[in-house]
Amino acid sequence: MNAIKNISVGHTERLYKPVGYTMLANLVNIIPFCLSIEAVNVIFRAFDGTNTSLDITRLWSIFIILVLYMIIMAIAERASYRANFRGAYEMSAEGRISLAEHLRKLSLGFFSRHDPGDLSSMLITDFAMAETGISHHLPQLMGALVMPILAFFTLLWIDWRMAIAMFIALPLAIGILLISTKVQQKLSNKQIEAKINAGNRLEEYLQGIRVMKAYNLVGDKFIRLKDAFSQLRRACIRQEAILGPFILFSVTVIRSGLTLMILCGTYLLIGGDISILTFVLFLIVGSRVFDPLTSALTNFAEFRYFSIAGGRILQLMNEPEMTGNKEAPQCGDIIFEHVSFKYQKKEVLHDINTSMHQGTLTALVGPSGSGKSTLMKLCARFYDPQQGKVLFNGIPMSNIDPESLMKHISMVFQDVYLFKDTIKNNLRFSKPDATDEEIIAAAKKACCHEFILKLPNGYDTMVGEGGCTLSGGEKQRISIARAILKNAEIVLLDEATASLDPENEVDVQNAINSLITGRTVIVIAHRLKTIKNADKIIVLDKGLIVEQGTHNDLINKNGLYCKLWTIQEKTAGWKL
Ligand X SMILES: Nc1ncnc2c1ncn2[C@@H]1O[C@H](COP(=O)(O)OP(=O)(O)OP(=O)(O)O)[C@@H](O)[C@H]1O
Site membership for ligand X, residue 371 (CB under 6 A): yes
Give 18 or 371: the residue with its C-beta nearer to ligand X. Answer: 371
Choose the binding region for ligand X from 292-300, 328-336, 368-376, 507-515 (rule: CB under 6 A).
Answer: 368-376
Please list every residue from 109 through 148 that binds ligand X, using CB under 6 A: 112
Give 114 or 444: the residue with its C-beta nearer to ligand X. Answer: 114
Choose the binding region for ligand X from 370-378, 385-393, 445-453, 454-462 (rule: CB under 6 A).
Answer: 370-378
**In this structure, what are the phi and psi dihedrals at residue 365, rounded to the nearest 5 degrees?**
-130, 165
As a whole number of Å, the end-to-end CA separation of the chain is 59
Please list every residue from 297 through 336 that binds ligand X, using CB under 6 A: none
Candidates 372, 408, 475, 519; binder of ligand X (CB under 6 A) is 372
- From the number of C-beta atoms within 10 Å of its C-beta (0-12, 13-18, 19+), residue 450 rates as exposed
Site membership for ligand X, residue 497 (CB under 6 A): no
**In this structure, what are the phi and psi dihedrals at residue 442, rounded to the nearest 5 degrees?**
-65, -40
Give 111 or 222: the residue with its C-beta nearer to ligand X. Answer: 111
Starting at the edge strand found earlier in the chain, the sheet holding 346-356 runs 346-356, 334-343, 387-392, 395-396
Distance from the Cα of residue 367 to its chain's centroid: 37
Give 112 or 471: the residue with its C-beta nearer to ligand X. Answer: 112
Minimum distance of ligand X from residue 374's CB (angstroms) = 3
Buried b (16+ CB within 10 A) or exposed e, 53-86: eeeeeeeeebeeeeeeeeeebeeeeeebbebbee
Contact predicate 381/323, CB 8 Å: no
From residue 13, alpha-carbon distances to 7, 18, 96 in Å are: 12, 10, 18
Tell me the per-residue interface mask from 95 to 114 with ligand X, x by CB under 6 A, - otherwise: -----------------x--
C-alpha to C-alpha distance for 37 and 31, rounded to whole angstroms: 10
Minimum distance of ligand X from residue 363's CB (angstroms) = 13
Minimum distance of ligand X from residue 109's CB (angstroms) = 8
C-alpha to C-alpha distance for 117 and 96, rounded to whole angstroms: 15
Give 115 or 401: the residue with its C-beta nearer to ligand X. Answer: 115
Number of DSSP helices (H) and strands (E) in the chain, helices first: 22, 10
DSSP string, 142-154: HHHHHHHHHHHHH
Give 328 or 538: the residue with its C-beta nearer to ligand X. Answer: 538
Report the DSSP pairing between strands 395-396 and 361-365.
Answer: unpaired
Choose the binding region for ligand X from 247-255, 362-370, 427-435, 439-447 (rule: CB under 6 A).
Answer: 362-370
Site membership for ligand X, residue 449 (CB under 6 A): no
Site membership for ligand X, residue 53 (CB under 6 A): no
Site membership for ligand X, residue 343 (CB under 6 A): yes
C-alpha to C-alpha distance for 399 and 380, rounded to whole angstroms: 13
CB atoms near residue 327 (< 10 Å):
11
Minimum distance of ligand X from residue 73's CB (angstroms) = 59
Minimum distance of ligand X from residue 322's CB (angstroms) = 16
Choose the binding region for ligand X from 50-58, 322-330, 369-377, 430-438 (rule: CB under 6 A).
Answer: 369-377
Choose the binding region for ligand X from 1-9, 367-375, 391-399, 430-438 (rule: CB under 6 A).
Answer: 367-375
Minimum distance of ligand X from residue 504's CB (angstroms) = 22
Tell me the per-residue interface mask from 58 to 97 with ligand X, x by CB under 6 A, - otherwise: ----------------------------------------
DSSP string, 307-334: HHHHHHHHHHHTSPPP---BPPPSS--E
Contact predicate 39/66, CB 8 Å: no
Judged by CB under 6 A, the number of residues near ligand X is 11
Candidates 231, 373, 497, 548; binder of ligand X (CB under 6 A) is 373
Which one, of 266, 12, 232, 250, lies nearest residue 125 by Cα?
232
Minimum distance of ligand X from residue 22's CB (angstroms) = 47
Site membership for ligand X, residue 348 (CB under 6 A): yes
Minimum distance of ligand X from residue 370's CB (angstroms) = 4
Q: Under the rule (CB under 6 A), what is the footprint of ligand X?
A: 112, 343, 348, 366, 368-374
